[in-house]
Chains A and B, each alone.
Chain A
Amino acid sequence: MNKFSWYEAKSVEDALEQVNSTVSDELYQSSEKATIFKSGGIDVFDWVKEGLLKPQMIINIRNIPGLDKISYDPKKGLRIGSNVTLAEIASDQEIKNQYLALHQAVNHAATPQLRNVSTLGGNIAQRNRCWYFRSVDHNCFRKGGDRCFARHSKTGENENHAILDNGSCVSVHASSIATALMAFNASVVIANAEGKQKTVPMDDFFVSAGEDMAMENILQAKEIITEILLPPPSKNTKSSYIKQVARESYDWSLADVAVVMEVSGNACKSASIVLGAAAPVPYRSVEAQQAIENKTINSENATAAAKAAMAKARPLSKNDYKVPLFVSTITQTILEIS
């Protein structure tokens, strides 16, 4: 790692005063005296170790008081501080009871060791895991380069890559927890250096590659995530989550699906269906939602919804397996609800 200094931030204001860049800005076009945030540090140290990120100063936001709380109110919903670790979410009984899909997604993310350190804010703000993007030797679009190495039909190693919205960058978002958060219609609370705060729905937090190649979320240099909010579930809310991986132990997602439904008996009244590892950002399948709404939750309708979700899929040279994998995973996840 390059030499960097360390700033131990004591408050959100203090941290925002010191920061002048983001990991995304630096990866796209590096600056001389970048000061960037780190909390758990798993993604930041990864980039610094690769030599792709060379900060002058790392601002440690991990110990800012007040960002490490989980609170649940049946009327107001769930608030998770950005510094809450994945392990703390996984062991929270109220989250398991009220937000099962989130509990399952967190439990299947990363390793026990990483869950003890990784924070929720860092998890949703981490950059994608495309091996070309992470390689010093491949100057891809995401790093200000002139091509996508993964897309190449002969040489592109694209088996883990996107099948939807893959017109520009073909990476898939690294956070499988975001899949569940988006299905619950979560919002991200962001504070800025002017002392203002905004609450952004998860759907608007992520930035598609077609919109801006340099970033995967809307965070700017002088902004910080303080909380993630989830609306309260009703007594008819049900949720489920399934993640497909290549190995029995922990692994990155090949296809993960979160479903949150309002049910009436065995019928779906409204559905929120989000796919992970399908597109450069977590992908809400409006097609699947419309296909299952006001229908009985059974195998036939679930399969129809799953197929509708894949109608626009455009697999690359080595990942066409993902289409049937998503069809079966979406079907299975919907059927878990009943």
Chain B
Amino acid sequence: MEKKDQDPKSKSAKTISRRGFIRGAGLSTAGSVLLTSNVLALDYKEQPAVGKAFGPGAMTIKMKVNGTTKSLSVEPRTTLASALRDHLELTGTKVVCDRGACSACTVYLDGKPVNACMMSALDVGDKEVTTIEGIAKNGELHPVQEAFIEHDASQCGYCTPGMVMSCVHLVENNPNPSLEDVKDATRGNLCRCGTYPHVFKATLAAAKKTI
């Protein structure tokens, strides 16, 4: 009996993911732009800025993400969120409202929480990006991540990466946060499931463990 998953046609169809398709389409556009305008890959930061515009086609930039410098091809309109998700496959960063209103896309820029959806990848410059993938160290979850599991601080999970980013930033910068401090830190993070009380408990518990 023929098994469906052994059918070569259905297998090849499965290997084309939506994200892979988006990235592939982006790269082929980039290739054509590079050819027609005869511009070689350039390091954005080292270019003289006066009297020179970048784009609108793709260019190769360097970006320091989670401690590693990556090369990627972006257009000026490529948001940081898209650069991370579609180009670097760091899909832990979620895009929900895409307008800076829900903070699901929270990453750190030089250690400060920002919305990756509301900036161009070119805005990063030589700043260091930290994503949710960079929070666990040497295979060990951060105490905030452990506490989120322990206190059931996640329902549908879509706000969770952004929520964790806000809470980790808090406990790393305030060793003894109050409930009000946790509320302040997560004011931008929308959770439609309403898991806030568990997020607060988890973060306060994690802060105690971090000390």
Contact = CB atoms under 8 A, between A and B. Distances in A.
Contact of B114 (A1, A11, A60, A113): A113
Contacts of B57: 3
B85 to A, nearest CB: 16
Size range of the chain A interface in the assembly: 20 to 34
Given A4-B76, A8-B49, A41-B120, A250 B188 contact: yes
A248 B180 CA distance: 12
Interface string A296-327: 00000000000000000000000000000000
A8 B54 contact: yes
Given A4-B77, A5-B53, A60 B119 contact: no
A255 B57 CA distance: 44
Nearest to B45: A8
A57 B115 contact: no
A14 B51 CA distance: 8
Interface string B25-58: 0000000000000000000000001111111110
Contacts of A116: 109, 112-114
Given A58-B76, A63-B125, A112 B53 contact: no
A49 B119 CA distance: 11
A41 B76 contact: no
Contacts of A148: none
Nearest to A13: B50
A41 B187 CA distance: 21
Which of B118, B122, B166 has its CB near the most chain A CB atoms (within 10 A)?
A: B118
B11 to A, nearest CB: 35
A7 interface: yes
Size range of the chain B interface in the assembly: 35 or more
A114 B120 CA distance: 14
B119 A113 contact: no
A4 B56 contact: yes
B192 to A, nearest CB: 13
Interface string A248-284: 1110000000000000000000000000000000000
Contact of A9 (B49, B56, B109, B188): B49
A112 B77 contact: no
Nearest to B98: A49
A14 B122 contact: no
A160 B183 CA distance: 25
A33 interface: no
Interface in A1-29: 1-11, 14
B86 interface: no
A3 B77 CA distance: 6
Contacts of B52: 7-8
A49 B113 contact: no
B187 A6 contact: no
A193 to B, nearest CB: 16
A6 B54 CA distance: 5
A110 B114 CA distance: 12
A111 B187 contact: yes
Interface in A90-135: 110-114, 116-117
Contacts of B183: 248-249
Contact of A249 (B114, B118, B187): B187
A219 interface: no
Interface stretch (B64-72, B99-107, B128-136, B144-152): B99-107
Nearest to B109: A116
Nearest to B185: A112
Contacts of A250: 187-188
A336 interface: no
Contacts of B50: 10-11, 14
A58 B119 CA distance: 12
27 contacts: A1-B77, A3-B75, A5-B53, A5-B55, A5-B56, A6-B53, A7-B52, A8-B54, A10-B49, A10-B50, A14-B50, A41-B118, A41-B123, A46-B100, A57-B53, A58-B76, A60-B123, A63-B125, A111-B103, A113-B106, A113-B113, A113-B114, A114-B188, A116-B113, A117-B118, A249-B186, A250-B187
Lowest 8 CB-CB distances: which A-B pairs, in order? A111-B188, A6-B76, A8-B49, A3-B56, A1-B77, A5-B55, A6-B54, A249-B187
Interface of A: 1-11, 14, 41-42, 45-46, 48-49, 57-58, 60, 62-63, 87, 110-114, 116-117, 248-250
Given A41-B123, A113-B113, 13 more contacts: A3-B55, A4-B56, A5-B76, A8-B49, A48-B77, A111-B103, A112-B113, A112-B187, A113-B103, A113-B106, A114-B100, A117-B114, A249-B186
